[in-house]
Amino acid sequence: MMKYLLASLFLFSSAVFGQTVIHYNDGSTYTLENGEFVVVANHNVFAKTTYTTGGVHFRPLKPNAKRDFVPAETDGMEPGSDEWCETYVPFQNGYTFDDQMWQRACQG
């Protein structure tokens, strides 16, 4: 019984402190703040404002342009090369495709 209690506490604590990170195709990232939300859509998204007079106004939302990407030392290097293997630090963002490449090419 105690091991189930500990396991549930572990799972709950990791969910509470988890952060949502968006990885863009250009390699940049953006970490959501507490209370911030994301809308993923292939069409225009609008915000609705309702006035006390009964009027309603819709305005288009612009895509988020904020990024918190910090270039890595390995940017511009060929993944799997000797120089890349010496410089790359694995598992910084969980388990990524680069970590898989590092395991295959550098730990070999």
What tens digit of pLDDT does each residue of 46-69 get?
Answer: 999 999 999 999 999 988 888 886
Structural domain includes residue 66: yes
Write down the pLDDT at residue 5: 59
Say if residue 30's pLDDT is above 60.
Answer: yes
- In terms of domains, do 103 and 75 share one? yes
- Cα 60 to Cα 58: distance, rounded to the nearest angstrom: 7
- Answer yes or no: do 75 and 102 share one domain: yes
Residues 57, 92, single domain; the answer is no
Where does residue 91 fall: left (phi above 0), alpha (psi -120 to 50 degrees), or beta otherwise? Answer: left
Look at residue 12 and tell me if it is in a domain: no
- Separation of alpha carbons 91 and 98, rounded Å: 9
Does residue 2 form part of some domain? no
Within this chain, do residues 23 and 63 fall inside the same structural domain, yes or no? yes
Are 105 and 80 contained in the same domain?
A: yes
Q: Which two tokens stand for residue 32?
A: 């959501």
For 96, the domain range is 71-108
* Nearest-angstrom CA–CA distance, 68 and 80: 26
Residue 4 within a domain: no
State the pLDDT at residue 67: 81
For residue 40, what are its two tokens? Answer: 């993923």
- Whether 33 shows a pLDDT value over 80: the answer reads yes
Residues 30 and 66 in one domain: yes
Mean pLDDT of all residues in 31-55? 89
Buried b (16+ CB within 10 A) or exposed e, 76-95: ebeeeeeebbeebeeeeeee
